[in-house]
Amino acid sequence: MGKNGGVSDQPESEILLRGRVVTPTDVLEDGLLVTRGATIAWIGPAGEAPAPWNERLPETSDDTVLPGLVDLHCHGGGGASFPDATTAQEVRRAADEHLRHGTTSLVASLVTAPADELLTRTALLAEAAEEGVLAGIHLEGPFLSHARCGAQNPDDMLAGDPGLVRQIAEAARGYLVTMTIAPEVAGVTAAETSADADGEADADVIAALVRAGALPSIGHTDASAEQVEAAVDRAFDLLAGATSARGTRPTATHLFNGMRPVHHRDPGPVMACLAAASRGELVVELVADGTHLAPATVVSVFDLVGAAGIALVTDAMSAAGMADGDYQLGPMAVRVADGVARIVGPDGRSGAIAGGVAHLLDVVRSTVAAGVPLVDAVRAASTTPATVLGLADVGALAVGLRADVVVADEHLRARRVLRAGVLVD
Protein backbone atom coordinates (compact mmCIF):
# COMPACT_ATOMS: atom_id res chain seq x y z
CA MET A 1 0.00 0.00 0.00
CA GLY A 2 3.02 2.23 0.30
CA LYS A 3 3.22 5.52 2.13
CA ASN A 4 -0.30 6.83 1.80
CA GLY A 5 -3.23 6.90 4.14
CA GLY A 6 -0.95 6.33 7.12
CA VAL A 7 -0.33 2.68 6.17
CA SER A 8 2.87 0.94 5.14
CA ASP A 9 3.44 -2.75 4.44
CA GLN A 10 6.78 -4.10 5.62
CA PRO A 11 8.82 -7.28 5.26
CA GLU A 12 8.05 -10.29 7.47
CA SER A 13 4.30 -9.54 7.39
CA GLU A 14 4.81 -6.25 9.22
CA ILE A 15 2.24 -3.49 8.79
CA LEU A 16 2.80 0.06 10.05
CA LEU A 17 -0.29 2.14 10.82
CA ARG A 18 -0.01 5.83 11.61
CA GLY A 19 -2.71 8.21 12.84
CA ARG A 20 -4.72 8.93 15.97
CA VAL A 21 -4.12 5.73 17.91
CA VAL A 22 -6.61 4.86 20.65
CA THR A 23 -4.97 3.00 23.51
CA PRO A 24 -6.83 1.67 26.57
CA THR A 25 -6.12 4.90 28.46
CA ASP A 26 -5.29 7.64 25.97
CA VAL A 27 -5.34 8.88 22.38
CA LEU A 28 -1.93 9.26 20.73
CA GLU A 29 -2.59 12.13 18.33
CA ASP A 30 0.29 11.09 16.10
CA GLY A 31 0.78 7.47 16.99
CA LEU A 32 2.28 4.43 15.32
CA LEU A 33 1.07 0.85 15.55
CA VAL A 34 3.18 -1.99 14.18
CA THR A 35 1.75 -5.45 13.58
CA ARG A 36 3.95 -8.45 12.92
CA GLY A 37 2.13 -11.50 11.76
CA ALA A 38 -0.92 -12.03 13.94
CA THR A 39 0.17 -9.85 16.87
CA ILE A 40 0.88 -6.24 17.79
CA ALA A 41 4.64 -5.67 17.91
CA TRP A 42 4.89 -2.00 18.93
CA ILE A 43 2.72 0.98 19.77
CA GLY A 44 3.63 4.52 20.75
CA PRO A 45 4.15 8.07 19.52
CA ALA A 46 5.35 8.05 15.90
CA GLY A 47 8.23 10.34 16.80
CA GLU A 48 9.53 7.78 19.32
CA ALA A 49 9.45 4.74 17.04
CA PRO A 50 12.68 2.71 17.34
CA ALA A 51 14.71 1.35 14.46
CA PRO A 52 14.01 0.00 11.95
CA TRP A 53 10.48 1.42 11.95
CA ASN A 54 11.62 5.01 12.41
CA GLU A 55 13.34 4.74 9.03
CA ARG A 56 10.16 3.87 7.13
CA LEU A 57 7.36 5.73 8.86
CA PRO A 58 4.13 6.16 6.91
CA GLU A 59 3.09 9.73 6.22
CA THR A 60 0.90 11.47 8.78
CA SER A 61 -2.83 10.99 8.27
CA ASP A 62 -6.25 11.83 9.66
CA ASP A 63 -6.95 8.14 10.30
CA THR A 64 -8.06 6.92 13.71
CA VAL A 65 -6.60 3.53 14.67
CA LEU A 66 -8.85 1.52 17.00
CA PRO A 67 -8.82 -1.98 18.43
CA GLY A 68 -11.04 -4.49 16.68
CA LEU A 69 -14.51 -4.16 18.19
CA VAL A 70 -16.29 -6.83 20.23
CA ASP A 71 -20.09 -7.15 19.94
CA LEU A 72 -21.83 -9.28 22.58
CA HIS A 73 -25.35 -8.99 21.14
CA CYS A 74 -26.05 -9.31 17.41
CA HIS A 75 -28.87 -11.10 15.59
CA GLY A 76 -27.53 -10.69 12.07
CA GLY A 77 -26.69 -8.37 9.21
CA GLY A 78 -26.16 -8.16 5.49
CA GLY A 79 -29.60 -9.64 4.90
CA ALA A 80 -28.89 -12.78 6.96
CA SER A 81 -30.33 -13.61 10.38
CA PHE A 82 -28.78 -15.86 13.02
CA PRO A 83 -32.20 -16.89 14.44
CA ASP A 84 -33.33 -17.89 10.93
CA ALA A 85 -30.10 -19.33 9.54
CA THR A 86 -30.13 -22.92 8.34
CA THR A 87 -26.72 -23.00 6.62
CA ALA A 88 -23.14 -22.11 7.49
CA GLN A 89 -23.13 -19.70 4.53
CA GLU A 90 -25.94 -17.63 6.08
CA VAL A 91 -24.11 -17.46 9.40
CA ARG A 92 -20.91 -16.34 7.70
CA ARG A 93 -22.76 -13.76 5.61
CA ALA A 94 -24.13 -12.08 8.72
CA ALA A 95 -20.79 -12.24 10.55
CA ASP A 96 -18.86 -10.92 7.55
CA GLU A 97 -21.16 -7.89 7.28
CA HIS A 98 -20.03 -6.78 10.74
CA LEU A 99 -16.41 -7.88 10.29
CA ARG A 100 -16.02 -5.62 7.25
CA HIS A 101 -17.17 -2.70 9.40
CA GLY A 102 -14.76 -3.30 12.27
CA THR A 103 -16.29 -5.96 14.54
CA THR A 104 -13.56 -8.58 14.76
CA SER A 105 -15.16 -10.59 17.59
CA LEU A 106 -18.89 -11.23 17.23
CA VAL A 107 -21.34 -13.06 19.47
CA ALA A 108 -24.36 -14.42 17.56
CA SER A 109 -27.69 -13.93 19.30
CA LEU A 110 -30.79 -16.09 19.02
CA VAL A 111 -34.31 -15.08 19.99
CA THR A 112 -37.00 -16.97 21.88
CA ALA A 113 -38.18 -20.00 19.90
CA PRO A 114 -39.40 -23.57 20.51
CA ALA A 115 -36.83 -25.69 22.33
CA ASP A 116 -36.03 -27.97 19.39
CA GLU A 117 -35.40 -24.96 17.16
CA LEU A 118 -33.12 -23.36 19.75
CA LEU A 119 -31.08 -26.55 19.96
CA THR A 120 -30.77 -26.82 16.17
CA ARG A 121 -29.75 -23.17 15.75
CA THR A 122 -27.31 -23.36 18.67
CA ALA A 123 -25.58 -26.38 17.12
CA LEU A 124 -25.22 -24.53 13.80
CA LEU A 125 -23.73 -21.48 15.50
CA ALA A 126 -21.37 -23.69 17.51
CA GLU A 127 -19.92 -25.02 14.24
CA ALA A 128 -19.29 -21.43 13.11
CA ALA A 129 -17.64 -20.63 16.45
CA GLU A 130 -15.36 -23.65 16.12
CA GLU A 131 -14.28 -22.32 12.72
CA GLY A 132 -13.52 -18.90 14.20
CA VAL A 133 -16.38 -17.12 12.44
CA LEU A 134 -18.05 -16.30 15.78
CA ALA A 135 -16.71 -15.57 19.25
CA GLY A 136 -19.66 -17.16 21.03
CA ILE A 137 -23.42 -17.60 21.29
CA HIS A 138 -26.04 -15.59 23.19
CA LEU A 139 -29.62 -16.73 23.75
CA GLU A 140 -32.13 -13.96 24.30
CA GLY A 141 -34.68 -16.14 26.06
CA PRO A 142 -36.72 -18.27 26.34
CA PHE A 143 -37.11 -17.55 30.08
CA LEU A 144 -38.44 -14.01 29.68
CA SER A 145 -41.36 -11.87 30.82
CA HIS A 146 -44.52 -11.88 28.72
CA ALA A 147 -45.10 -8.31 29.88
CA ARG A 148 -41.75 -7.15 28.44
CA CYS A 149 -41.48 -9.39 25.38
CA GLY A 150 -40.58 -6.52 23.04
CA ALA A 151 -39.95 -7.99 19.58
CA GLN A 152 -39.98 -11.55 20.88
CA ASN A 153 -42.77 -14.09 20.53
CA PRO A 154 -44.48 -14.49 23.95
CA ASP A 155 -46.00 -17.81 22.88
CA ASP A 156 -42.56 -19.45 23.01
CA MET A 157 -41.55 -18.10 26.42
CA LEU A 158 -41.14 -20.70 29.15
CA ALA A 159 -40.78 -21.06 32.88
CA GLY A 160 -37.19 -21.57 33.99
CA ASP A 161 -35.91 -25.01 33.01
CA PRO A 162 -32.36 -25.96 34.12
CA GLY A 163 -32.61 -29.13 32.04
CA LEU A 164 -33.12 -27.13 28.86
CA VAL A 165 -30.14 -24.96 29.81
CA ARG A 166 -27.99 -28.09 30.03
CA GLN A 167 -29.20 -29.24 26.61
CA ILE A 168 -28.47 -25.86 25.04
CA ALA A 169 -25.03 -25.74 26.66
CA GLU A 170 -24.26 -29.20 25.29
CA ALA A 171 -25.31 -28.13 21.79
CA ALA A 172 -23.16 -24.99 22.14
CA ARG A 173 -19.98 -27.04 22.80
CA GLY A 174 -18.51 -24.51 25.18
CA TYR A 175 -19.48 -21.43 23.15
CA LEU A 176 -22.56 -20.40 25.15
CA VAL A 177 -21.54 -16.97 26.43
CA THR A 178 -24.72 -15.45 27.87
CA MET A 179 -28.44 -16.06 28.21
CA THR A 180 -30.99 -13.33 28.82
CA ILE A 181 -33.29 -14.15 31.73
CA ALA A 182 -36.11 -12.42 33.63
CA PRO A 183 -35.57 -12.94 37.39
CA GLU A 184 -39.31 -12.95 38.20
CA VAL A 185 -40.02 -15.92 35.95
CA ALA A 186 -40.53 -19.12 37.94
CA GLY A 187 -37.45 -21.36 38.02
CA VAL A 188 -34.98 -18.67 36.92
CA THR A 189 -33.61 -17.97 40.38
CA ALA A 190 -33.99 -19.67 43.73
CA ALA A 191 -32.61 -19.66 47.24
CA GLU A 192 -29.02 -20.83 47.44
CA THR A 193 -28.45 -24.52 48.02
CA SER A 194 -25.57 -26.34 49.65
CA ALA A 195 -24.14 -27.25 46.25
CA ASP A 196 -22.19 -24.60 44.37
CA ALA A 197 -22.08 -24.02 40.63
CA ASP A 198 -19.57 -26.85 40.16
CA GLY A 199 -21.57 -29.27 42.28
CA GLU A 200 -24.37 -31.61 41.31
CA ALA A 201 -27.35 -29.37 42.05
CA ASP A 202 -28.77 -27.04 39.40
CA ALA A 203 -31.44 -25.47 41.56
CA ASP A 204 -32.42 -22.92 38.94
CA VAL A 205 -31.54 -21.46 35.56
CA ILE A 206 -28.90 -19.12 37.00
CA ALA A 207 -27.04 -22.00 38.64
CA ALA A 208 -27.30 -24.11 35.48
CA LEU A 209 -25.88 -21.30 33.35
CA VAL A 210 -22.95 -20.66 35.67
CA ARG A 211 -22.18 -24.36 35.83
CA ALA A 212 -22.18 -24.45 32.02
CA GLY A 213 -19.64 -21.62 31.88
CA ALA A 214 -22.17 -19.02 30.70
CA LEU A 215 -23.19 -15.69 32.18
CA PRO A 216 -26.76 -14.87 33.24
CA SER A 217 -27.97 -11.61 31.69
CA ILE A 218 -30.87 -9.67 33.19
CA GLY A 219 -33.32 -8.54 30.53
CA HIS A 220 -36.84 -8.52 29.09
CA THR A 221 -38.01 -8.27 32.67
CA ASP A 222 -40.82 -6.69 34.66
CA ALA A 223 -39.12 -7.53 37.94
CA SER A 224 -38.91 -5.32 40.99
CA ALA A 225 -35.60 -3.84 42.04
CA GLU A 226 -35.48 -6.34 44.91
CA GLN A 227 -35.94 -9.31 42.59
CA VAL A 228 -33.17 -8.08 40.31
CA GLU A 229 -30.86 -7.42 43.24
CA ALA A 230 -31.38 -10.97 44.50
CA ALA A 231 -30.71 -12.45 41.06
CA VAL A 232 -27.56 -10.40 40.53
CA ASP A 233 -26.27 -11.30 43.98
CA ARG A 234 -26.87 -14.99 43.31
CA ALA A 235 -25.21 -14.90 39.91
CA PHE A 236 -22.25 -12.87 41.16
CA ASP A 237 -21.68 -15.19 44.13
CA LEU A 238 -21.95 -18.35 42.01
CA LEU A 239 -19.55 -16.96 39.40
CA ALA A 240 -17.03 -16.14 42.14
CA GLY A 241 -16.95 -19.78 43.17
CA ALA A 242 -17.12 -21.40 39.73
CA THR A 243 -13.91 -22.74 38.20
CA SER A 244 -15.61 -22.86 34.78
CA ALA A 245 -16.69 -19.20 34.76
CA ARG A 246 -15.46 -17.12 31.81
CA GLY A 247 -15.92 -13.92 33.82
CA THR A 248 -16.81 -12.66 37.27
CA ARG A 249 -19.77 -10.44 36.39
CA PRO A 250 -23.22 -11.21 35.01
CA THR A 251 -24.62 -8.76 32.47
CA ALA A 252 -27.79 -6.81 31.72
CA THR A 253 -29.29 -7.17 28.25
CA HIS A 254 -29.75 -3.78 26.51
CA LEU A 255 -30.37 -1.76 29.66
CA PHE A 256 -33.66 0.22 29.62
CA ASN A 257 -35.00 -1.56 26.54
CA GLY A 258 -37.34 -4.44 27.35
CA MET A 259 -37.47 -3.43 31.01
CA ARG A 260 -40.01 -1.88 33.35
CA PRO A 261 -39.28 1.86 33.25
CA VAL A 262 -37.89 3.77 36.21
CA HIS A 263 -40.34 5.41 38.63
CA HIS A 264 -39.27 7.18 41.79
CA ARG A 265 -41.48 4.91 43.93
CA ASP A 266 -40.82 1.83 41.79
CA PRO A 267 -37.16 1.84 40.67
CA GLY A 268 -37.47 -1.54 38.95
CA PRO A 269 -34.69 -3.41 37.14
CA VAL A 270 -32.92 -0.41 35.62
CA MET A 271 -31.90 1.19 38.91
CA ALA A 272 -30.91 -2.16 40.39
CA CYS A 273 -28.70 -2.91 37.38
CA LEU A 274 -27.08 0.52 37.49
CA ALA A 275 -26.33 0.13 41.19
CA ALA A 276 -24.79 -3.31 40.66
CA ALA A 277 -22.71 -2.06 37.74
CA SER A 278 -21.43 0.88 39.77
CA ARG A 279 -20.26 -1.65 42.41
CA GLY A 280 -18.40 -3.66 39.78
CA GLU A 281 -20.82 -6.60 40.03
CA LEU A 282 -22.52 -6.31 36.62
CA VAL A 283 -21.84 -5.21 33.05
CA VAL A 284 -24.69 -3.34 31.36
CA GLU A 285 -25.27 -3.47 27.62
CA LEU A 286 -26.24 -0.22 25.89
CA VAL A 287 -27.67 -0.02 22.36
CA ALA A 288 -26.38 3.51 21.91
CA ASP A 289 -27.29 3.75 18.23
CA GLY A 290 -29.30 6.96 18.43
CA THR A 291 -32.59 5.04 18.22
CA HIS A 292 -32.83 2.83 21.30
CA LEU A 293 -31.60 5.45 23.78
CA ALA A 294 -31.46 9.24 24.00
CA PRO A 295 -27.93 10.68 23.90
CA ALA A 296 -28.35 12.13 27.41
CA THR A 297 -29.23 8.67 28.72
CA VAL A 298 -26.05 7.24 27.26
CA VAL A 299 -23.88 9.98 28.75
CA SER A 300 -25.55 9.58 32.15
CA VAL A 301 -24.85 5.85 32.27
CA PHE A 302 -21.19 6.41 31.38
CA ASP A 303 -20.98 9.06 34.11
CA LEU A 304 -22.60 6.75 36.67
CA VAL A 305 -20.96 3.44 35.81
CA GLY A 306 -17.85 4.13 33.76
CA ALA A 307 -16.67 2.36 30.62
CA ALA A 308 -15.41 -0.65 32.62
CA GLY A 309 -19.01 -1.53 33.43
CA ILE A 310 -20.55 -0.91 29.99
CA ALA A 311 -20.63 -3.01 26.84
CA LEU A 312 -21.82 -1.16 23.78
CA VAL A 313 -23.79 -3.54 21.54
CA THR A 314 -25.71 -3.36 18.28
CA ASP A 315 -28.64 -5.73 18.88
CA ALA A 316 -28.46 -5.73 15.08
CA MET A 317 -30.81 -7.82 12.97
CA SER A 318 -30.56 -8.90 9.34
CA ALA A 319 -31.23 -5.40 7.99
CA ALA A 320 -27.87 -4.07 9.27
CA GLY A 321 -26.04 -2.76 6.23
CA MET A 322 -29.16 -3.10 4.08
CA ALA A 323 -31.82 -0.80 2.67
CA ASP A 324 -35.20 -0.07 4.24
CA GLY A 325 -37.72 -2.84 3.63
CA ASP A 326 -39.31 -5.98 5.08
CA TYR A 327 -37.25 -8.52 7.02
CA GLN A 328 -37.67 -11.40 9.47
CA LEU A 329 -36.51 -11.85 13.07
CA GLY A 330 -37.33 -15.39 14.07
CA PRO A 331 -41.10 -15.74 13.72
CA MET A 332 -41.68 -11.98 13.76
CA ALA A 333 -42.14 -9.84 10.64
CA VAL A 334 -40.06 -6.66 10.75
CA ARG A 335 -40.26 -3.49 8.69
CA VAL A 336 -37.35 -1.07 8.47
CA ALA A 337 -38.33 2.50 7.67
CA ASP A 338 -36.02 5.51 7.90
CA GLY A 339 -33.37 3.27 9.44
CA VAL A 340 -35.53 2.01 12.32
CA ALA A 341 -36.66 -1.62 12.57
CA ARG A 342 -40.09 -2.31 14.07
CA ILE A 343 -42.34 -5.32 14.45
CA VAL A 344 -45.22 -5.45 11.96
CA GLY A 345 -48.48 -6.18 13.78
CA PRO A 346 -51.42 -8.24 12.45
CA ASP A 347 -53.05 -5.02 11.31
CA GLY A 348 -49.96 -4.08 9.31
CA ARG A 349 -48.98 -1.29 11.70
CA SER A 350 -45.51 -0.90 13.14
CA GLY A 351 -45.00 -1.78 16.79
CA ALA A 352 -42.04 -2.30 19.10
CA ILE A 353 -38.46 -1.64 18.02
CA ALA A 354 -37.12 -4.92 16.64
CA GLY A 355 -33.37 -4.70 17.16
CA GLY A 356 -30.89 -2.41 15.50
CA VAL A 357 -29.57 -1.84 11.99
CA ALA A 358 -26.19 -0.33 12.93
CA HIS A 359 -22.68 -1.75 13.01
CA LEU A 360 -20.78 -1.44 16.29
CA LEU A 361 -18.52 1.26 14.87
CA ASP A 362 -21.70 3.25 14.14
CA VAL A 363 -22.64 2.83 17.81
CA VAL A 364 -19.20 4.10 18.87
CA ARG A 365 -19.65 7.11 16.60
CA SER A 366 -23.11 7.85 18.06
CA THR A 367 -21.74 7.48 21.58
CA VAL A 368 -18.93 9.95 20.92
CA ALA A 369 -21.40 12.35 19.28
CA ALA A 370 -23.50 12.15 22.45
CA GLY A 371 -20.58 13.52 24.45
CA VAL A 372 -18.71 10.42 25.69
CA PRO A 373 -14.90 10.65 25.32
CA LEU A 374 -13.51 8.55 22.47
CA VAL A 375 -11.32 6.46 24.79
CA ASP A 376 -14.34 5.52 26.92
CA ALA A 377 -16.57 4.73 23.95
CA VAL A 378 -13.90 2.51 22.41
CA ARG A 379 -13.21 0.76 25.70
CA ALA A 380 -16.93 -0.04 26.06
CA ALA A 381 -16.95 -1.51 22.54
CA SER A 382 -13.77 -3.54 22.89
CA THR A 383 -12.03 -4.04 26.23
CA THR A 384 -15.07 -4.43 28.48
CA PRO A 385 -16.94 -6.88 26.22
CA ALA A 386 -13.71 -8.87 25.79
CA THR A 387 -13.62 -9.35 29.57
CA VAL A 388 -17.21 -10.60 29.44
CA LEU A 389 -16.12 -13.20 26.89
CA GLY A 390 -13.15 -14.10 29.07
CA LEU A 391 -10.72 -13.26 26.25
CA ALA A 392 -7.34 -11.81 27.20
CA ASP A 393 -5.81 -11.59 23.70
CA VAL A 394 -8.26 -9.14 22.11
CA GLY A 395 -10.07 -5.94 23.00
CA ALA A 396 -7.26 -3.39 23.10
CA LEU A 397 -4.24 -2.05 21.23
CA ALA A 398 -1.32 -3.33 23.29
CA VAL A 399 1.91 -5.15 22.54
CA GLY A 400 1.47 -8.92 22.41
CA LEU A 401 -2.27 -8.91 21.80
CA ARG A 402 -3.85 -10.21 18.62
CA ALA A 403 -3.59 -7.74 15.77
CA ASP A 404 -7.30 -6.95 15.50
CA VAL A 405 -7.29 -3.36 14.26
CA VAL A 406 -9.73 -0.92 12.69
CA VAL A 407 -8.46 2.01 10.66
CA ALA A 408 -11.24 4.60 10.52
CA ASP A 409 -11.42 7.96 8.82
CA GLU A 410 -11.88 11.25 10.63
CA HIS A 411 -15.62 10.56 10.81
CA LEU A 412 -15.09 7.15 12.47
CA ARG A 413 -16.09 5.18 9.40
CA ALA A 414 -14.10 2.04 8.66
CA ARG A 415 -11.43 2.26 5.95
CA ARG A 416 -9.46 -0.91 6.70
CA VAL A 417 -9.90 -3.82 9.09
CA LEU A 418 -7.23 -6.26 10.24
CA ARG A 419 -8.12 -9.50 11.97
CA ALA A 420 -5.13 -11.37 13.43
CA GLY A 421 -2.93 -9.20 11.22
CA VAL A 422 -4.74 -10.10 8.00
CA LEU A 423 -6.44 -7.40 5.95
CA VAL A 424 -10.17 -8.10 5.66
CA ASP A 425 -11.40 -7.97 2.07
**pTM as predicted:** 0.94
CA 159 – CA 171 distance, rounded (Å): 20
pLDDT in tens, 349-395: 667 888 899 999 999 999 999 999 999 999 999 999 999 999 999 99
Q: Name the percent of the chain lying above pLDDT 70.
A: 94
pLDDT in tens, 339-348: 898 988 776 6
The confidence score (pLDDT) of residue 201 equals 59
CB 220 within 8 Å of CB 252: no
CA 341 – CA 402 distance, rounded (Å): 34
> C-alpha 407: how far from its chain's center?
20
Tell me: pLDDT of 58 over 50: yes
What does DSSP assign to residue 55?
Answer: G
Q: Detail the residues annotated as belonging to a binding site for Zn(2+).
A: 140, 220, 254
pLDDT band at 296 (very low <50, low <70, confident <90, very high): very high
Per-position DSSP letters for 2-44, written without gaps between them: -SBTTEEEETTTEEEEEEEEE-SS-EEEEEEEEEETTEEEEEE
Per-residue pLDDT averaged across 200-210, rounded?
86
CA 234 – CA 248 distance, rounded (Å): 12
CA 6 – CA 2 distance, rounded (Å): 9
Q: Detail the residues annotated as belonging to a binding site for substrate.
A: 151, 257-258, 265, 292, 353-355
CATH of 7-67+396-423, one of 2.30.40.10, 1.10.3720.10, 3.30.1340.30, 3.40.50.2000: 2.30.40.10
Q: Detail the residues annotated as belonging to a binding site.
A: 140, 151, 220, 254, 257-258, 265, 292, 353-355
Residue ranges, comma separated, of all CATH 3.20.20.140 domains in the chain are: 69-389
Residue ranges, comma separated, of all CATH 2.30.40.10 domains in the chain are: 7-67+396-423
Architecture of the structural domain at 69-389: Alpha-Beta Barrel (3.20)
To which H or E segment does residue 423 belong? strand 422-423
pLDDT band at 191 (very low <50, low <70, confident <90, very high): low
Per-residue pLDDT averaged across 245-263, rounded?
96
CA 181 – CA 214 distance, rounded (Å): 12
Residue 73's Cβ-count burial label (10 Å; 0-12, 13-18, 19+) is: buried
CA 185 – CA 158 distance, rounded (Å): 8
CA 238 – CA 73 distance, rounded (Å): 23
Name the β-bridge partners of 179: 139, 216
Best CA proximity match to 321, nearest among 339, 342, 294, 348: 339
The confidence score (pLDDT) of residue 216 equals 98
The confidence score (pLDDT) of residue 1 equals 36
Q: Name the percent of the chain lying above pLDDT 90.
A: 85
pLDDT band at 330 (very low <50, low <70, confident <90, very high): confident
Per-residue pLDDT averaged across 124-141, rounded?
98
Q: Please tell me which residue in 315, 362, 376, 404 is annotated as part of the active site.
A: 315
Instruction: Note if 425 is an active site residue.
Output: no
